[in-house]
Structure 1
């Protein structure tokens, strides 16, 4: 368990996910099964909350309305991974929508920012787990060495679970 403060944990996670454009948002469906869907992460700095723009008519929004417990997972090309657990909230906030809106969303909402199907989704994080690699080349070297020698690969990076 990390011995950093809440603010330091948030800053560390923010640094890992800063440039990751897409995340998988996992919700609990009507049949109690888990459903993970790709979502575009908003450019807002992670401060303990994660924002998405979704459609009111989607299963994602329906799932959150019924069962707000969610997970957001990230991975990058450097073999870093973050899993954030929290509570999904369906938010009506025109100022926040204007802050997050880009023309990219016209592909999903043809009427633009005034499309009545737009739904802001806020994930209020309560915990996270992250894995930081020592880098792709170093990790691949350790794995190859392990395969050749039959010995364990040893320390492959950092893994922490944090409360937020």
Structure 2
């Protein structure tokens, strides 16, 4: 049982900055694919949290979305650009919170780069739909909670913990500064 040892709490914390933080962000977003996009402004008593599909996460860790120009979300962003994104990639790991701000544009080249036929469900006129806008989310800080050895090992540890009654935590977590 040497490969599945109990870890001391001090081994569970690993803060990441710069390139390491961006790599962790990209990795966790790739696993999740979508997030809860939470705005801070409250436009006409709107609900400020909604699911959003990520179109791209770039080398700088910026997260890109397509959105309707006339959406409540875009109206909220016009009032306050502060945004928090919440991701969950699996049951045992791959949790990510990102805090930052959003920039909304109508950049045609970026719309064409980000376009995916599945978003036609929201933009019925296709890639030329005049309602399409681009949201670029720029993270400042974040927090992640993951596991050290992958989901298979984490699942085994949960099973062994349930049977043995011993804690076999495989988690690792930390702050992210982009």
Please report the TM-score for the alignment, with normalisation by the length of structure 1: 0.84
- In structure 2, the partner of 1:114 is 128
Structure 1 residues 28-37 or 10-19, which shifts more? 28-37
Asked whether the equivalents of residues 14 and 47 of structure 1 are also in contact (C-alpha less than 8 Å), the reply is no
- Aligned pair 1:53/2:71, yes or no? no
Separation in 2, partners of 1:107, 1:34: 22
Match of 1:24 among 20, 36, 39: 36
Moved runs in structure 1, 4+ residues, more than 6 A?
31-34
Cα distance in structure 1, aligned partners of 2:114 and 2:124: 17
Q: Please point out which of 95, 99, 109 is paired with 1:81.
A: 95
1:121 is paired with a residue whose SS is strand
CA offset at residue 2 of structure 1? 4.7
User: What is the deviation of 1:16?
Assistant: 2.0
Matched residue, 2:21: 9
Is structure 2 residue 82 aligned with structure 1 residue 64? Answer: no
Structure 2: where are the runs of 5+ without partners? 1-12
Alignment CA distance shift 1:86-1:143 (3 Å): farther
Q: Judging changes above 3 Å, is the alpha-carbon distance between structure 1 residues 159 and 33 closer, same or farther for their aligned structure 2 residues?
A: farther
Which protein has greater RCO, CA pairs closer than 8 Å, 6+ apart?
2
Provide the rounded CA distance (Å) in 2 between the counterparts of 1:142 and 1:46: 39
Structure-to-structure mapping, 1:143-154, within 5 angstroms: 144-145=162-163, 149=165, 153=167
With over 3 angstroms needed to count, the CA separation of the structure-2 counterparts of 1:64 and 1:142, relative to structure 1, is farther
Deviation, 1:88, is 1.1
Contiguous gaps of at least 5 residues in structure 1: none
Cα distance in 1 for partners of 2:160, 2:48 equals 34
CA contact (8 A) 2:69 2:133 kept: yes
Shift of 1:105: 1.7
Cα distance in 2 for partners of 1:10, 1:32 equals 34
Residues in 1 aligned to 2:67 and 2:173: alpha-carbon distance in whole angstroms: 31
> Partner of 2:5 in structure 1?
none
Secondary structure of the corresponding residue to residue 79 of structure 1? coil
